[in-house]
Amino acid sequence: MRAVDIIIKKRNGLSLSREEIHFIIDGYVKGEIPDYQVSALLMAICFQGLNKDEQVDLTMEMLNSGEKIDLSSIKGICVDKHSTGGVGDKTTLVIAPIIAACGLKIAKMSGRGLGHTGGTLDKLESIPGFKIAISPKDFFKQVEEIGIAVVGQTANITPADKKLYALRDVTGTIDSVGLIAGSIMSKKLASGAHSILLDVKVGDGAFMTTIEDARVLARAMVDIGNSCGRKTVAMLTDMDQPLGEAVGNSLEVIEVIETLKGNGPQDFTKLCFEICTEMLLMTDFAKTKEEALFMINKVLKNGSAMEKLRQMIIYQGGNPKVIEDYQLFAQAKRVVDIRSDKTGYIKKIHTHRIGDAAMILGAGRKTKDDIIDPSVGIKVLGKIGDFVNAGEIIAKVYSNDREEESAINITKEAFEIINEVVQKNKIVLDIVQ
């Protein structure tokens, strides 16, 4: 078997066998097949695509290239949740405590962000003392005892995916549904959960800008998960405006705490409820949507969801006093009000621009080596469909000097305001099972 023959076969639009996919991935990980040949194959895949069997086979090869987490020793049902990413997306930090308080186990490995804001790990590290690296023994012990842990991904999980992703990033081969689905699902399957909920973002601030493209990706990931024996459901959710108000690491964690206290922004709270409901239904912890919502409201009102967050902070070395005292978070030097320059209805928020503004302030990374400033960010107070008066505050910029003027201008220009009434956005656009 030769790599060049496999490249030509895919270039000509033919399906690759399991053996051929194994030959390429195994050879690449071992250093026997060079970057330039794998780059050629990736480009052929971008043009010709991968069918369902090829997607499953590729995912399994990446999964089997490294360690897998075995959660079978943990009593109960372990669930996992993945988001394709968006501006102000901090749902994991609300969903995980709620789900744990309802009785499911969530043993989650998350990543750092590259782009507009930090990832889940960066948000958690804005809590003073919080450790995202804990030993496997402590990880299992924590999940067993309190039902929740969110930690960094180990170095030996899906090494093939790490190599392929780095190559895709520099060869213009990111945009392939089969490659994206395989990358995401290999990591999710390696994490060991029984059931997987996928939050596929759609819109201006998401990787998938149209619902048609998002539905194709969701279908591919759900098919892979179910083919590998994991109950998998995907929700297509709105990212045509920032989720909630806060964009920036400490700001987002504060919003998480407020949401668990029952004071969160309406759109963010609704999405968290919808995702938790689906997770309870897919695991048969609840038989109906009404029963699921009753369970969610109960753990919020009696404080047990908040207690799960507090326990996770304590177990992972953080200061639990942040739940009562937000001054313990890093504080920005200045807060600049962004005011509407006209009276009318907010028609559009250029969400990716809000993300860009947050990134240049220091809330995100342009390169993987950039250092995040947890105190900076943006609060988006005006939402699509809202009526605002000229001079009304529609956003706030939290700054520590770095590119403040640019961030202010970008944020202000991100809002489009018109005279006609504008309909508010739906939060959940579709569910793929």
Question: What's residue 367's pLDDT?
Answer: 72
- Cα separation values, 213 from 45, 165, 176, 207, 235, Å: 17, 20, 11, 10, 13
Residue ranges of domains in the chain: 3-49, 78-323, 331-418
* Residues linked to residue 141 through DSSP beta bridges, in sequence order: none
**Predicted structure pTM score:** 0.92
Q: In the structure encoding, which two tokens stand for residue 224, read together?
A: 């892979």
Question: What's residue 85's pLDDT?
Answer: 84
Helices (H), 302-373: 304-315, 351-358
Question: What's residue 375's pLDDT?
Answer: 97
Residue 378's closest CA among 115, 117, 91?
117
Question: What's residue 157's pLDDT?
Answer: 86
Rounded distance between C-alpha atoms, residue 214 and residue 167, angstroms:
23
Query: Which CATH number, 3.90.1170.30, 3.10.129.10, 3.20.20.80, 3.90.950.10, labels domain 331-418?
Result: 3.90.1170.30
Question: What's residue 149's pLDDT?
Answer: 95
250's CB contacts (< 8 A; 6+ apart) are 126, 329, 330, 374, 375, 377
- Cα separation values, 356 from 105, 225, 407, Å: 35, 33, 8
User: Tokens 């908040």 sit at which residue?
Assistant: 306
Question: What's residue 32's pLDDT?
Answer: 97
Question: What's residue 189's pLDDT?
Answer: 93
H or E stretch covering 379: strand 377-380
Question: What's residue 175's pLDDT?
Answer: 82
Cβ atoms 26, 63 nearer than 8 A: no
CATH number of 3-49: 1.20.970.10
Catalytic residues: 82, 161, 168, 183, 187
Rounded distance between C-alpha atoms, residue 184 and residue 187, angstroms:
6
Percent of the chain with pLDDT strictly greater than 70? 97
- Cα separation values, 191 from 82, 154, 156, 158, 271, Å: 11, 10, 12, 10, 24
Which segments of 292-376 are extended strands (E)? 334-339, 344-349
Rounded distance between C-alpha atoms, residue 259 and residue 245, angstroms:
11
- Cα separation values, 150 from 121, 132, 389, 408, Å: 8, 7, 42, 33
Q: What is the pLDDT of residues 73-88, one digit of tens each?
A: 899 999 999 998 889 9
Q: Kindly report the CA angle at 84 between 139 and 20, in degrees rounded to 5?
A: 85
Rounded distance between C-alpha atoms, residue 157 and residue 274, angstroms:
30
Q: For residue 409, count other CB atoms closer than 10 A to its CB.
A: 12
CA–chain centroid gap for 212, Å, is 20
Question: What's residue 391's pLDDT?
Answer: 97
Question: What's residue 112's pLDDT?
Answer: 65
Question: What's residue 366's pLDDT?
Answer: 75
- The fold of the 78-323 domain, in CATH, is Pyrimidine Nucleoside Phosphorylase; Chain A, domain 2 (3.40.1030)
Q: Would you list the DSSP string of 64-95?
A: TTSB----TTSSS-EEEEEE---TT--THHHH
Rounded distance between C-alpha atoms, residue 318 and residue 314, angstroms:
5
Rounded distance between C-alpha atoms, residue 197 and residue 340, angstroms:
38
Number of H helices, E strands in the chain: 16, 13
- The pairing of strands 334-339 and 393-399 is antiparallel
Q: What is the pLDDT of residues 242-284, one digit of tens each?
A: 999 999 999 999 999 999 999 999 999 999 999 999 999 999 9
Question: What's residue 371's pLDDT?
Answer: 87
* pLDDT < 50 stretches in the chain: none
